[in-house]
A and B are shown apart, each in its own frame.
Chain A
Amino acid sequence: MNTLTIFKRELTSYFTQPTAYAIVIIFGFLSILLAFTIGNFWAIDDASLHGSFFRSIPLLLMILVPAVSMRQWSDEHYTGTIELLGTFPINLRSAIWGKFLASAMVWALALALTFPIVSAVNYLGDPDNWTIFSGYLGSFLVCLTFLAITTLVSAFTRDQVVALIVSVAICCLLTICGWEPVINEVRRTGPDAAQAVDIMTKFGIYSHFFEATLGKISITSLLYFFGLIIICLLGTNLVLKSQRA
């Protein structure tokens, strides 16, 4: 019940301020732009969107996702409203989940509004829409993971800019270390690099995300995403509690 109350407040707050609109519009525009430029939408002739549209999604998300939730807890510290939440008869957990789910809703909307590209491939060809759906699910899991990371970082500081910079840095690291050009570069250093490549692929978000865009989400990938999300949200609870001790 309290989670729902906080969820509603946060979601309204995203839409009474320009944050959500800016993010949804910028993400929609850039994701489609990248699909037609870097993604070679026309030349690649692939209706599953795997190589064109989804290819650059994590690169956009690693920068844009933290912008949505950077103020989640840092603003509570800065304005002192955390003192109100802390003295209401509610669990801290419900506040953390309410806020997290509201930011997830903003990203669900941002992803949903890229539907013109799905309509386009359906008009131009005969794609497997389940594979496309799986790609969207993968993108949403990446969003949730980055949101959870930002939630944790924002619990540490009262400064939104610091929260943004640190979260973007962590999300970039997770994305880039599994990114194909980087993996190829490491592979070129010699046969000894095989183990490093293996670790980077497993640790990075790209391999798990790519599986989803190909229409298969493995248990390992689900464990990877949900593991990171749960660890970050439990960590947020711990950080917020220890700050008062």
Chain B
Amino acid sequence: MIEVTGLTKRFGSKVAVDDLSFSVNKGEVLGFLGPNGAGKSTTMRMVTGFLPVSAGKIKICGISMTGRPKAAKRKIGYLPESAPLYKDMTVQGFLKFCASLRGLGGSARRQAVEKSIETCFLENVARQSIGTLSKGYRHRTCLAQSLLHDPEVLVLDEPTDGLDPNQKLEVRKLIKNLGKEKAILFSTHILEEVTAACTRAVIVDQGVIVADGTPEQLTKEGGGSLYDLFHKVTTFETPAA
């Protein structure tokens, strides 16, 4: 459902993503690992059509992101890294706004908003202004926005960042459940999440894939520890793109 071939992004002379290829099928949750500045967010921004590619191809459910961006974007739900929101809106108002931009109207919109509020446990704060919410609720509000149109593909950039341990657990469970029906690409630098939620993982370093496999394979490759493998294949510090 997500097919990426030879994906490259250059900012001036700096190569942020270098000839990256991977694919995610229906029912798969691909963990995208790597140190800060490895090119994870840049890759996701290209996959979701926010950043234009310097080279390479992206296909979402067989639709080219460069050729037919609007049609491809319809298939994707996206949670950006910082979970951006319009703080002056209420949770419900924001979700309604996003649903309208996704082309939903009338009762379909109302149902979509209600369902995603329920899925992300936002009932208690639905009528509250986003500016007054805690970080956990804000994050879930942005996650709810990505589920509104029941997309076939989900791209989640650090979906558990800034959540407390209980919320992390809930979100991981949610990702695992959603992954049965959808193709999910999610980035993290928390290695436990790979074994907890992913069916497959890749480790990216300096814009290049340095390891690829199921969590079990990767753990084996690292001699019984995913940490050791991560340490071995990634550079200690990478300047942010």
**Chain A residues within CB distance 8 Å of chain B:** 2, 5-6, 9, 12-13, 16-17, 79-84, 86-90, 244-245
Contacts and interface: CB of A to CB of B under 8 A. Distances in A.
B108 to A, nearest CB: 15
A87 B50 contact: yes
A80 to B, nearest CB: 4
Contacts of B70: 89-90
Most chain A CB within 10 A, of B78, B80, B82, B101, is at B101
Contacts of A6: 101
Nearest to A86: B50
B49 interface: yes
A9 B52 contact: no
Given A13-B86, A80-B82, A84-B84, 15 more contacts: A2-B101, A9-B86, A16-B88, A80-B80, A80-B81, A82-B84, A83-B45, A83-B84, A84-B80, A84-B98, A87-B49, A87-B78, A88-B73, A88-B98, A90-B70
Contacts of A86: 49-50
A81 B71 contact: no
Nearest to A2: B101
Contacts of A17: 88
Interface of B: 45, 48-52, 69-71, 73-74, 76, 78, 80-82, 84-89, 93, 97-98, 100-103, 145
A89 B52 contact: no
Contacts of B98: 84, 88
Nearest to B85: A81
Nearest to A14: B88
Nearest to A83: B80
A2 B84 CA distance: 20
B101 A5 contact: yes
A9 B48 contact: no
Nearest to A17: B88
Contact of A5 (B78, B84, B97): B97
A83 B89 contact: no
Closest 5 CB pairs of A and B: A80-B84, A89-B73, A86-B50, A5-B100, A83-B80
Given A9-B97, A89-B103, A244 B50 contact: yes
B73 A87 contact: yes
Contacts of A90: 70, 101
Contacts of B51: 244
Given A5-B100, A9-B97, A88-B98, A81 B86 contact: yes
A244 B45 CA distance: 10
Contacts of A80: 80-82, 84
A79 B84 contact: yes
Contacts of B100: 2, 5
Q: Which of A79, A86, A89 has the most CB of B within 10 A?
A: A89
Of A9, A12, A87, A244, chain B has the most CB atoms within 10 Å of the CB of: A87
